[in-house]
Structure 1
Amino acid sequence: MSTNETAILTWLAEQRGAMIDALRAMVDTDGGSYDKAGVNAVGAQVARFMAANGIAVQTLPQSRFGDCLRAVVGGEGGNAGNDRQNIVLMGHRDTVFPKGEPQRRPFTIEGNRAYGPGVADMKAGLVMNMFVLAAFQKFGGAPGPLVALFTGDEEIGSPEGRPVIEAEARSARVVFNSEPGRPDQGVVTGRKGGVFSVFDIEGKAAHSGGNFEAGISAIGELAHKITAIHALTDLARGITLNVGLVQGGQSVNTVAPWAQGQIDLRYVEPADRDEVMGKIDAIIARSFVPGTKAKLTIRGEFLPLTQDNASRRVYELYRGAAREAGFDAKPNFSGGCADSGFTAAMGAPTLCAVGPVGGKAHSPEEYLELDSIVPRAQALARAILRLDAAGV
C-alpha cells in the first residue's frame, strides 16, 4: 500500500463524524427539484466545504433549476481527439420532497441508521464525494484530474443538467455516480431508460343531462388511451408503461371538454425506446371517441445504463477495492433511471450506486446505513488510486 493510500484511507476513517455533520446540514435543507433556491442552498454548503479545503469550484448557472457545481482537484485534463483524462464523480442535490419536508421530518439517527428526506438519495453520496475530493487534495495520489459534478435536477430527468453532464463525459476517463449503494451492499451496473411524457386531450363540453348528445368526452377518450398504452407493457423485454397521473373534466354534470394523462415508459434496450414511442404516438393520434383531439409532449428522459467491456473493467476494479474495504459490491440491475445513463451513452466507462448504502428512497421511511459511509468512501478512493494498474 502506497503512502498516499494509507494516508487517504486513514484520514477518511477519521472523518466519520464530520461526514455525518455535513449530511445532517444537507438533509435539513430544502431541496426539491422545483425549489431552485433550496437546491442552491445545498450547493452553497458544497461550495463552502470546497473553499475550506482549498478546492477550486465553479458555478454553472441554470435558468430554471438548481445551478450546477463543478469542483476540480489536480490539473485539468485535455479533450483533444480521443484524449480522456478526467476522473469524474457525480451526484445530484435535488430531492423528490415538497418544500418544508425537512422541517416536518428532520435528520434523525436511530441505532445505525439515519433518516430524513434525501438522506440516501442522494445527499450521503454528495458528502462522500466531497470528502473523497478533500482527501486527494490533502494527500495527492490521484492518477489524473478529479472532477466532481453536483447537479440540481436529476429527479425530473435532468432537463438542464444533462448538457453539463454530457459535456463532462466527453473528457471522462471514468465516471463514478454516487447514487445510494444497494441494500445488499452492491452497486448498479445496468439501468433502464425512461421517457416521461404528458398527453392532453380536447373534447367538447355539453350539459350531461339536457344536451348530452352534443358533448364529446375527453375523459372517455382518456380511458381508451390509457387501456391501449398499458397494453404495450412487455415484462419479458423489461418494457413497462404506466399512466400514473390523470386529471380532467369541468364538473360532474358536464361532458368533459378536456383531460390529461402522464406516462412513465421504462425500457432496457436502446432500440426499444423508438419502437414503443412510435406506438404511443399512434395511440395519441387515434380518436377512439370521434371528435376528440390529442397532443403528446415529452417532459423528461433518461438513457439506459448499459455495460460495455470498459465499464466491466471499472466494475471489477471497484469490486476488488470494496472487498479490501470489507464488503462485496455485487452487481445489480435497476429499473430506476439515473444520470449515469447519459455518461455511458457518451462512451465514458461508468459505474453507478457507489454511494453509501440506503433504501426506501422517495418515501418517509428512506434510510441510510451510517456504518457504510467510511467503507464506501475508502472503496471509491482505492478504486481511483488503482485505475492505472487496472488499465482503465
Structure 2
Amino acid sequence: MRANRKRDGSPPMPTAYERALDRAVPGVIAETITITEIPAPTFRERTRARHVYQRLEAIGGWSHLEIDGLSNVVAVRKGQAGRARLLLCAHLDTVFPDAATPVVRSRGVLTGRGVGDNSLGVAAMLGVAQAMQATKVTGVGDIIFAANVGEEGRGDLRGARRLVKDYAGDFDAMIAIEGHALNRVQMQAVASLRYEVSIETDGGHSWSAYGRKNAIALLARAIVALEPLMPDPAATPKTTMNVGVIRGGRSVNTIAPDAAFELDIRSVEPANVDVLLRDVRIAMRAAVGDEAEVKFKRIGARPGGSVPMESALVQAVLGVRKAIGLPEPEFYAGSTDANAALGAGFATTCIGVTTGGEAHTPREWINTAPIKQGVPYLGRSIVAAARLQRAALRP
C-alpha cells in the first residue's frame, strides 16, 4: 500500500488506503456523536462496548473478536510475520455519571460530555479499522484493535492493564488514542498514587451529644495541613497534588461520624510521588493527633516510564506528521492508557485526532475541521509503525 513518488518529483499519488482514510472522516464525525450519546461512566461501559463490538463485527475480517470479562472490546487482524505487532487502545469510559449525554453541533464544533475524551478516539479507531479492512492493507504485522474500559479515575487503567497482561506475547508496541491530542505526542508516563483518606468518630446528635469529635472537622484540619506541602507549579520535574473528592456526615443535625477525601499525587519522577506521600502521612497525622485515626486506602497507582525520541515507533509517527503537513508536536508527559504499556517496558506513545478543550466538564468540545487531517494521521501512523521490523522495537 505504499505510494510511489512520480518521476518528476511531484508528490506521490495517494494509495487506496489513504483515499479510504480521507473518505472515512464524515463517518468518524457521525460515529463520534453516536458514541458520545451512549453513556459510559467508568465501571459501566458495557452498553457502549456492545455498540463498538457490533461496528467491528460489521467491518469483519478479524481472526478474533470478543468482549472480554471486563468489557474490553478486542479485534485482532493477522498480518505478516516479522513485522511489528501493534496494540491499539482507545478507552470507552468517561468521567460522567449522567443518564443522558447529548451532543450539540454548531459551526465546526461538537460539544458534549466526553466527546473528545474519548468518543472521538474510539470513532477514529473504528474508521481506521474499516479503511484497513476494506483496502486489504498488506506488509504490516498483527494489529490488535482494542476499545478498553477503565482509563478514567478509579478505573486505574484496569482495561489497558488487562490487555497488556493478556496479550503481552502478541504485541511489540502500543499506540494509545486520545481524541484531543492531535498536536501532542506522549513521551513520558506520569507516575501517580491515589488514596482515600478517611476518619471515623463516635458521632451523635448535634444537641444532646455536643462536644464529641466531628469527623468532618478533623478531616478538614488534615486537608489544611497539606497546604505547606503543595508542590511549586513552576518546579521541575513537575509534581502535583490534588484533593479531588470529599464526602462525609449523616445530616445537618448529626455530629459527623465519618468523612473521607480522595487524594491524587503525580510526578514525572516516580520517586517524588513516594517522598510526597510520606510527608503527607506525617503532616495529616500530626494535625489530627490522638483525636482520631487517619486511615489511608490506596485506590489507584499508575506506573511511570518513557519512550526515547530515537525510538522507531516515535520516528514512524513523526515521519507521518511531516509527510501530511502537521506542525511539530508538543512532546509531553501524560497519564493515559499508554502508562500501562510503558510501565511494562513496551515502546509506547499516545497520539490524537483533533483539537479541543474543557475536558472532564459538561462544556467539553472538539473542532471538527482538524479531523480531516487527524484520521489520516492516525491511520497512516498505525501502518507506518506496523511496517517496522519487529527487531526495531526490541528494548
TM-score by length of 1: 0.84
> Following TM superposition, by how much is the alpha carbon of 1:272 offset from its aligned partner in structure 2, in angstroms?
1.9
Name the counterpart of 1:49: 55
Name the counterpart of 2:384: 386
Name the counterpart of 2:77: 73
Q: 1:256 to 1:25 in 2, by over 3 A?
A: closer
Q: 1:372 to 1:220 in 2, by over 3 A?
A: same
Name the counterpart of 2:17: 8
Q: Distance in 2 between matches of 1:211 and 1:122?
A: 49
Name the counterpart of 1:158: 155
> Following TM superposition, by how much is the alpha carbon of 1:170 offset from its aligned partner in structure 2, in angstroms?
5.3
Q: How many residues align?
A: 373
Q: Structure 1: 5+ residue runs without aligned partners? A: 78-82
> Following TM superposition, by how much is the alpha carbon of 1:298 offset from its aligned partner in structure 2, in angstroms?
1.4
User: Given that residues 189 and 331 in structure 1 are in contact (C-alpha distance below 8 angstroms), is that contact kept between their aligned partners in structure 2?
Assistant: no
1:24-49 deviations in Å (ceiling 9; x for gaps): 21112111224x2xx22221221122
Name the counterpart of 1:299: 299
1:118-156 deviations in Å (ceiling 9; x for gaps): 211011111111121222223222520011111121112
Question: Which amino acid is 1:351 matched to?
Answer: T
Q: Distance in 2 between matches of 1:316 and 1:181?
A: 21
> Following TM superposition, by how much is the alpha carbon of 1:251 offset from its aligned partner in structure 2, in angstroms?
5.3
TM-score by length of 2: 0.84
Q: 1:299 to 1:254 in 2, by over 3 A?
A: same
1:127 aligned to which of 123, 126, 140 = 123
1:289-333 deviations in Å (ceiling 9; x for gaps): 43311211111232235233564x422321220122231251232
Q: Distance in 2 between matches of 1:162 and 1:381?
A: 21
Q: 1:384 to 1:289 in 2, by over 3 A?
A: closer
> Following TM superposition, by how much is the alpha carbon of 1:212 offset from its aligned partner in structure 2, in angstroms?
4.8
Secondary structure (helix, strand or coil) at the match of 2:306 reads: coil
1:86-141 deviations in Å (ceiling 9; x for gaps): 21111111111122232xxx223212222222211011111111121222223222
Question: Which amino acid is 2:118 matched to?
Answer: M
User: Given that residues 143 and 384 in structure 1 are in contact (C-alpha distance below 8 angstroms), is that contact kept between their aligned partners in structure 2?
Assistant: no
Q: Distance in 2 between matches of 1:218 and 1:384?
A: 52
1:49-70 deviations in Å (ceiling 9; x for gaps): 21122143221112xxxx1111
Q: How does 1:137-152 map to 2 (within 5 A)?
A: 137-138=133-134, 139-152=136-149
Name the counterpart of 2:177: 178
Name the counterpart of 2:41: 32
Q: Distance in 1 between matches of 2:178 and 2:345?
A: 20
Q: 1:43 to 1:310 in 2, by over 3 A?
A: farther
Name the counterpart of 1:222: 219
Q: 1:204 to 1:118 in 2, by over 3 A?
A: same
Secondary structure (helix, strand or coil) at the match of 2:378 reads: helix
Question: Which amino acid is 1:259 matched to?
Answer: A
Provide the identity percentage.
24
Question: Which amino acid is 2:373 matched to?
Answer: P
Q: Distance in 2 between matches of 1:327 and 1:70?
A: 30
Name the counterpart of 1:80: none
Q: 1:50 to 1:3 in 2, by over 3 A?
A: farther
Question: Which amino acid is 1:140 matched to?
Answer: V
Q: Distance in 1 between matches of 2:149 and 2:287?
A: 39
Q: 1:200 to 1:84 in 2, by over 3 A?
A: farther
Q: 1:300 to 1:239 in 2, by over 3 A?
A: same
Confirm or deny that 1:263 pairs with 2:249: no
Secondary structure (helix, strand or coil) at the match of 1:109 reads: strand
User: Given that residues 110 and 368 in structure 2 are in contact (C-alpha distance below 8 angstroms), is that contact kept between their aligned partners in structure 1?
Assistant: yes
Q: Structure 2: 5+ residue runs without aligned partners? A: 5-13
Question: Which amino acid is 1:277 matched to?
Answer: L
> Following TM superposition, by how much is the alpha carbon of 1:364 offset from its aligned partner in structure 2, in angstroms?
2.4
> Following TM superposition, by how much is the alpha carbon of 1:285 offset from its aligned partner in structure 2, in angstroms?
4.8
Q: How does 1:200-349 map to 2 (within 5 A)?
A: 200-205=198-203, 212-213=210-211, 215-235=212-232, 236=235, 237-250=237-250, 255-283=255-283, 285-286=285-286, 288-308=288-308, 311=311, 313-334=312-333, 337-349=335-347
Q: Distance in 2 between matches of 1:114 and 1:162?
A: 27
Name the counterpart of 2:66: 58
> Following TM superposition, by how much is the alpha carbon of 1:385 offset from its aligned partner in structure 2, in angstroms?
3.2
Q: 1:329 to 1:204 in 2, by over 3 A?
A: same
> Following TM superposition, by how much is the alpha carbon of 1:219 offset from its aligned partner in structure 2, in angstroms?
2.9
Q: Distance in 2 between matches of 1:61 and 1:205?
A: 41
Secondary structure (helix, strand or coil) at the match of 2:244 reads: strand
Q: Distance in 2 between matches of 1:345 and 1:31?
A: 26
User: Given that residues 191 and 306 in structure 1 are in contact (C-alpha distance below 8 angstroms), is that contact kept between their aligned partners in structure 2?
Assistant: yes
Indicate the RMSD between aligned Cα atoms, in angstroms. Answer: 2.8
Between 1:200-209 and 1:368-377, the stretch displaced more is: 200-209
User: Given that residues 108 and 114 in structure 1 are in contact (C-alpha distance below 8 angstroms), is that contact kept between their aligned partners in structure 2?
Assistant: yes
Q: 1:298 to 1:389 in 2, by over 3 A?
A: closer
